[in-house]
Amino acid sequence: MKSISPFFILLVFLSVPAKGSDLSALDQFIKLSQDKRLWDQRYWQILLHYQPTLAGNKSLIDDPKFFLSLVGENSPEDELRSTLIAFFTSAEKGDLHPRCRFPARYEWLKSVLQWEESLFSNISCHELKKYEKTMSPKSAVLVFPTFFMNNPASMFGHTLLRIDNTSESKLLSFSANYAAYPDSFGFLYPIKGVFGFYKGYFSIFPYYETIRMYNDTEQRDMWEYHLNFSEAEIQMMTWHLWELKEIYSYYYFLDENCSYNLLYLFEAARPTLHLTDRKWYWTIPTDTLRAILSEGVIEDADFRPAKGTKIRYIASLLDNIGQENALKIVEKKLDPTRVPSSTVQEKIKILDLAVEEIQYRYNKHQMPKETYLNLFLSTLNERSKLGVSDKESYKIPVPNPPESGHRSSRISLSEGIRENSSFEEIHYRPAYHTLLDPDEGFVKGLQIVFADTAVRFYNEGKIKLESFDLIDIVSLSPRDRFFKPLSYKVSTGIKQQMMEAGDDLIVYQLNPGVGMTLENSSMGLVYGLVEMNLNVSEEFRDRYALGGGLQFGVIKQINGVWKASLSLEDVSYPFRNIFQEKKVSLVQTIKLNPDQSLNISYFWDQVSDIHRTEGQVHWNIFF
């Protein structure tokens, strides 16, 4: 797409109209638009992505190519007038004509001002027609790839749109996605993402590529929510999507992100929806999903398990020997024609497991194409000789959908006792989920927390900032025969640190760690991490204490409402400020309903020879 430069906009005012009578028609439609104050109408505000500000309106689009007025970003009225002038006076006759570039604006203005299409009969929008023919939109689906534990930016999940055409295979549909285009993924990546240093663009991909990326490579299950938009509504959505082609707005991880910008496509389809004008202090995909559900747009949902989910499930149907044989096929240590098994159904499962694993390794670029093709075809050939599998045994249990989980923000009220002192405590956490929260709707072993603040009120009159977790991320991704992810954690913030004399010292703390997690049906998640701990305070010699140690833990979902967690830590500080700290925490979580839970916790802390215990009961309210 070529850009519409300020020079072009100036040219609009000086150009000769396409038809002799257009100038009088233009005057008429400008006057009518002023009489109707069309710039104040909601649909115009949606198409230009305007949001109210103290000074009036401002578009969330940052790319000047999106506007036909030099002041269009802040002036809906001037942008509308300039758009009418551009439609009726542009000297362009082809794809660069504003009628071709902004079809949603054109169709809406035509419908409210009721001009004849024949006024633009000499304009030929070849590229737009080609786009319309390719898309042929008939229906739309909201897609939610679930939480991706190995990338902090994807731990919240993601939302995108699938636009279906007449093809029976949904793989031939198209997906519309809004994403940031970072220039690097280094240490500054999350910081630059939070403060809007990256540009975000809409893009359109074949849906099979979307599945390959999220489902097959990143091991993310996908939920597909069918929307009840009419064909006419989806047409307006796809026209607006065309208008956003190669147009950027600055991407902010916490609010103007993938999930928020997608809402404009919903409103372009059906302007009676109120999604972008809600109070979004931060925008999390599960929250936008709930908002869309509340508007009555979603009819039903399908679950599309990830390749990793399929592999783990088929593996669960086999014993250790069967799983090992499948891996031997993948690693070319066992010929597919020589699979030892006691039954045909067992052999089918071994070969099916091998086929899934071969495809997975190829998608992850762990296998060259030639090796993949030879191995895949030889295994598939042997598998085809065994007939149809028992389909019932391959039905993967459908998990609870993302919207069934607790809401993102949490406030906690607690009563506790430390040695001989009782206290009350209030916690506020804007987002999002901890290891101790109920797991329903989330991935086990996932924690991502922003700005969790705890203030403690001791009954003898003291008030203390107990902790401020700027960010606290934990990913306990279990390892097995087929997947070997590392687990990790990183947290930073302000905490009360017990010292050798038994008193508290408020310190800035940075605590990263890396290790492994295993999952056992009787024990739950069992993890071990090697960690580093940096404490900074004026009270330390040289203002810091640097230590390292180990953390071991177990997290077990005992039944549908009860979860237990045990953590043991031993950290030594061998430099300058020399001391050793040991911690034990045991927490029971009781789910009361989706948005309320109780935590009953016991905490033991020892620094050198001084130790203390603490017990608390937390009432958590999610909102």
More confident residue, 131 or 181: 131
pLDDT digits (tens, 9 = 90+) for 404-435: 999 999 999 999 999 889 999 999 999 889 99
- pLDDT at residue 150, rounded to an integer: 67
Q: Which two three-digit tokens encode residue 373?
A: 């093709």
DSSP assignments along 149-176, one per residue: TT-GGGTT---EEEEE-S-S-GGGSEEE
Return the pLDDT at 183.
Answer: 74
DSSP for 380-447 reads: HHHHHTT----GGGG-PPPPPPGGGS--S-EEEEEEEEETTEEEEEEEEE-EEE-TTS--TTS-TTEE
Residue 297, classified by CB atoms within 10 Å of its CB into exposed (0-12), middle (13-18) or buried (19+), is buried
Task: Please tell me the pTM assigned to this model.
Answer: 0.87
| DSSP reduced 3-state for 209 | helix
Cβ atoms within 10 A of the Cβ of 230, count? 11
Give 209-257 pLDDT, tens digit per residue. 999 999 988 889 999 999 999 999 999 999 999 999 999 999 988 888 8
pLDDT surpasses 60 at 442: yes
Confirm if 251 and 62 have CB atoms less than 8 A apart: no
Average pLDDT over residues 130-144: 96
Reduced to 3 states, what is the DSSP secondary structure of residue 561? coil
pLDDT band of 280, cuts 50, 70, 90: confident
Distance CA 448, CA 445 (A): 10
Task: Tell me which of 245 and 19 has the higher pLDDT.
Answer: 245
Question: Is the pLDDT higher at 150 or at 343?
Answer: 343
Structure tokens belonging to residue 345: 């159904």
